[in-house]
Chain A
């Protein structure tokens, strides 16, 4: 029932008239949440109005299905969205490989979040998944526009089709998960954390699909995306940030792996795709220290951090680190996991913030608060 939250970053996804309807529902679990939300409504009206402008309001589903609702569109090389519908849920495969890769990738991502963490789609409430392929002309990018995924074909010289790596699809959809949970501000360190969380879960989605352990995984982001002749394996390496490519045309992978090399820049919202290397590597250190499937304990700690309601939108690395340690202790006690979390952050030069300095400046309710458990 997470769609009825009124206090989280996306307090706005259910319109008031619908809350009123739900408040009259005979099921106590339903009406309790709705009544609680309505009580908070006036207090959060500004937040509601603000977010409604930027977020597509999903159709609420009282009992989210355990299967995805996918729709694929072909932008036909234009930049209007979404384009023409080409494959809906349950349709037979298209003759277009990009459509089928995106469809399968959305499915693998949905499957991952449900099986690993009991989460139903990006919003936790069964949000239908929409994606557009063949966006623009030779377009070297993929992005999440706040309500759907968008993929370019690449220019065919440096980049291939952005639907090729599963971790790219997982990365983009995880921007949606972040939007509906901690809603990390896309600027500076919180922006680098937003990027890093997308890389972490993007990689875990691939590892989950391939049933790879932390030690078997490649920890690459954008593997298979670079055209033949480009000197590089991928766009980013979580195992060894700064080593993914070194090419005469692209230059050298500029990602730092340690706070000593933190990049100060105003480009790219303060280097969100550069400094993400630091928390990326911290996650890699944690996952390989714990061993086994990385989505199990390491991923669970990161997922609890992102969705637990204790992470402020403007969190810096130190605050994020402190919340991961708290999340590790809450789920696994004061043991191996928490020690490995602290060692991982030490390994990248981040000292977790003290409790007193990391209190969120605005309250964020944990997902699932005042509601039935997910899954």
Chain B
């Protein structure tokens, strides 16, 4: 499963992007479960959100969802953290 996360917005205005392919990873099962849960919990389209709030774009095998920070589920938060931690910046 291919998973990509882009975080935009925020007070700093700095965009962060990271992606990963679960195949061959020791945590593949966990990431796949999180991704499925995140997709299930998400609604669309993304609301405009609050000033300075983060926005996320999450792509999971060709399906892309957009979320305001306040709308991210627990599973979504865990997934975002796991993917963005791939990016060392």
Contacts and interface: CB of A to CB of B under 8 A. Distances in A.
Contacts, number: 73
Contacts of A250: 14, 89
Contact of A268 (B13, B69, B70): B13
A198 B6 CA distance: 25
Contacts of A15: none
Interface stretch (A41-49, A92-100, A140-148): A140-148
A322 interface: no
B52 A268 contact: no
Nearest to A79: B77
A140 B89 CA distance: 12
A137 B81 CA distance: 10
A250 B81 CA distance: 18
B25 to A, nearest CB: 22
B50 interface: yes
Contacts of A269: 9, 48
A175 B48 contact: no
A142 B10 CA distance: 7
Nearest to A274: B13
B15 A249 contact: no
Among B8, B50, B69, the one with the most A-chain Cβ atoms within 10 Å of its Cβ is B50
B52 A144 contact: yes
Interface string B66-85: 00011000000100010000
Interface in B1-39: 6, 8-15
Contact of A235 (B8, B11, B49, B55): B11
A196 B8 CA distance: 18
Task: Report the contact-size class of chain B (Cβ under 8 Å from the partner).
Answer: 20 to 34
B12 A175 contact: no
B41 interface: no
Given A249-B89, A250-B89, A273 B13 contact: yes
A366 interface: no
Interface in B42-59: 48-55
Among B10, B12, B15, B50, the one with the most A-chain Cβ atoms within 10 Å of its Cβ is B12
Interface string A219-243: 0001000000000000110000000
Contacts of B11: 141-143, 162, 168, 171-172, 222, 235, 273
A218 interface: no
A187 B8 CA distance: 13
Contact of A143 (B6, B13, B52): B52
B3 to A, nearest CB: 19
A267 interface: yes
Contacts of A235: 11-13
Contact of B55 (A79, A171, A268): A268
- Top 6 nearest A-B pairs (CB, nearest first) are A273-B13, A143-B52, A249-B89, A175-B51, A267-B8, A141-B10
22 contacts: A140-B12, A141-B10, A141-B53, A142-B11, A143-B11, A143-B52, A143-B53, A143-B69, A145-B50, A162-B11, A172-B11, A186-B48, A186-B49, A194-B51, A250-B14, A267-B6, A267-B15, A268-B13, A269-B48, A272-B13, A273-B9, A273-B11
Interface of B: 6, 8-15, 48-55, 69-70, 77, 81, 88-89
